[in-house]
Amino acid sequence: KKLGVALVGLGRYSTNELAVALQATQSCYLAGVVSGTPEKRDFWADQYNLKPENIYDYDNFDRIADNKDIDIVYVVLPNSMHAEFVIRAAQAGKHVICEKPLGISSAECLQMINACKKHGVKLSVGYRLHFDPYHQYLMQLSDKVQYLEASNGYTLKDHSEWRMDKSLAGGGALMNIGIYCLQSACYVTGKTPISVTAQATKTRPDLFKDIEETLSFQLQFDRGVSTNFVTSHQLPMNRLMAISEGREYTLSPAFSYRGIGKKYAFEQYKELSQQAAQMDDFATVIRKNKVSSVSGEMGLRDLRIIEAIYEAADARKPISISDKLYT
Ligand code: NAD
């Protein structure tokens, strides 16, 4: 039997990517939705032929506990709402996928992990690039990597959106897309960093008041590998370059949903739906009672690295993170 997924939050990522990817999965299907907007609930019910009893709003969501059609709750809300809905999903006995970043603080991530453990459900983070063949190739470089740089940025044009609001986003570009750079640092080297340095700059201080606009950071590992990363809500950038055993491996673009390596790549792979592969993998995790390769613990690790990066940018000095990580 295919596993039923309920999407929580019907914004752009659910609408344009996840709903489409669900049609391409082998082991999952869209079984329900959770939304605060009546028009969206009606539209999705109609569009995807959903049963009326599988449509929820944020208030009656907890009743999902009694719904046998729903195996997985996929939280796709603004970052500060992830913790509440992951914990409520766990309490309802449902396995959970949560979008990145897992939470807006490491403390929240820990609460989410503990709730899932307590209720015996699996937790994973929507780290789709782990299922992309280019990134999977780079993961094999691991110990041999000598240098890694990555940049991920775009010009955020709608200044009224939640990503500009610290209380909803938890931070700026780093929380939103810089997280892909630090993710790649960990999976390409196969390690977690031991310390970080970071520098914040603003080309538009008038727009970016309490959250970062452009942030450069460097991650130090317990062996000789140099790294450099930039993330921005103002500058368009999307590239990754590793040097391993003297050979260069560049991807451009590196972090997109589609067309990875379209401008430049070290290899050519067939296009696949990252999100379909990600959800099928989670279905296997559930069926075989395994731990997800993009686990809640990984989401927690990343929030700890993010917190250290913010601290380093403020303090203008290196911040050690070796004692703060989960492994
Ligand atoms: P979006 O703004 O398009 O959608 C957000 C949804 O949340 C909307 O349906 C909105 O109605 C709902 N919502 C509920 N309460 C809200 C509030 N107080 N303020 C604003 N919206 C509220 O955002 P999105 O791009 O779909 O992002 C949603 C989540 O998915 C974020 O955590 C984001 O980081 C993540 N995301 C991940 C990827 C990826 O590649 N993995 C890509 C895009 C977004």
Q: How confident is the prediction along the chain (327 residues), in pLDDT tens digits per residue?
A: 999 999 999 999 999 999 999 999 999 999 999 999 999 999 999 999 999 999 999 999 999 999 999 999 999 999 999 999 999 999 999 999 999 999 999 999 999 999 999 999 999 999 999 999 999 999 999 999 999 999 999 999 999 999 999 999 999 999 999 999 999 999 999 999 999 999 999 999 999 999 999 999 999 999 889 999 999 999 999 999 999 999 999 999 999 999 999 999 999 999 999 999 999 999 999 999 999 999 999 999 999 999 999 999 999 999 999 665 554
> Closest Cα to atom 10, ligand 1: which residue?
11
DSSP code, position 13: I
Which domain CATH number covers 59? 3.40.50.720
Q: Are residues 142 and 255 in the same domain?
A: yes
Residue 285 lies in a domain: no
Q: Are residues 163 and 59 in the same domain?
A: no
Q: For residue 135, what are the contacts with CB-CB under 8 A and spacing of at least 6?
A: 129, 184, 187, 260
pLDDT digits (tens, 9 = 90+) for 146-171: 999 999 999 999 999 999 999 999 99
Q: Pocket around ligand 1: residues whose beta carbon is below 6 Å from it?
A: 9-14, 36-37, 76-79, 99-100, 126, 128, 161-162, 168, 176
Tokens of 44: 């999705």
Q: Are residues 135 and 68 in the same domain?
A: no
Q: Are residues 54 and 186 in the same domain?
A: no
Which domain CATH number covers 188? 3.30.360.10
Q: Are residues 139 and 155 in the same domain?
A: yes
Q: Are residues 77 and 153 in the same domain?
A: no
Please count the other Cβ atoms lying within 10 Å of the Cβ belonging to residue 59. Answer: 8
How far is 260 from 142, CA to CA, in rounded Å?
20
Out of 74, 101, 126, pick the residue that ends a domain.
Answer: 126
CA of residue 224 to ligand 1 center, whole Å:
38
Pocket-testing residue among 8, 12, 109, ligand 1, by greatest number of atoms within 8 A of Cβ = 12
91, 62 contact by CB (below 8 A): yes
- Scored b (16 or more CB within 10 A) or e, 106-132 reads bebbbebbebbeebebbbbbbbbbbbb
Identified catalytic residue from 56, 74, 100, 191: 100
Out of 126, 154, 170, pick the residue that ends a domain.
Answer: 126
Pocket-testing residue among 99, 164, 177, 306, ligand 1, by greatest number of atoms within 8 A of Cβ = 99
100: amino acid identity, one letter: K
Number of domains in the chain: 2
CA of residue 18 to ligand 1 center, whole Å:
12
Strand pairing of 55-56 and 28-34? parallel
CA of residue 242 to ligand 1 center, whole Å:
31
State the complex-level ipTM. 0.99
pLDDT digits (tens, 9 = 90+) for 167-196: 999 999 999 999 999 999 999 999 999 999
Out of 74, 107, 126, pick the residue that ends a domain.
Answer: 126
Residue 18 lies in a domain: yes
Q: Is residue 180 among the annotated active site residues?
A: yes
CA of residue 10 to ligand 1 center, whole Å:
8
Q: Is residue 100 among the annotated active site residues?
A: yes
What end-to-end distance do the CA atoms of the chain give, in Å? 35
Give me the domain span that covers residue 26: 3-126
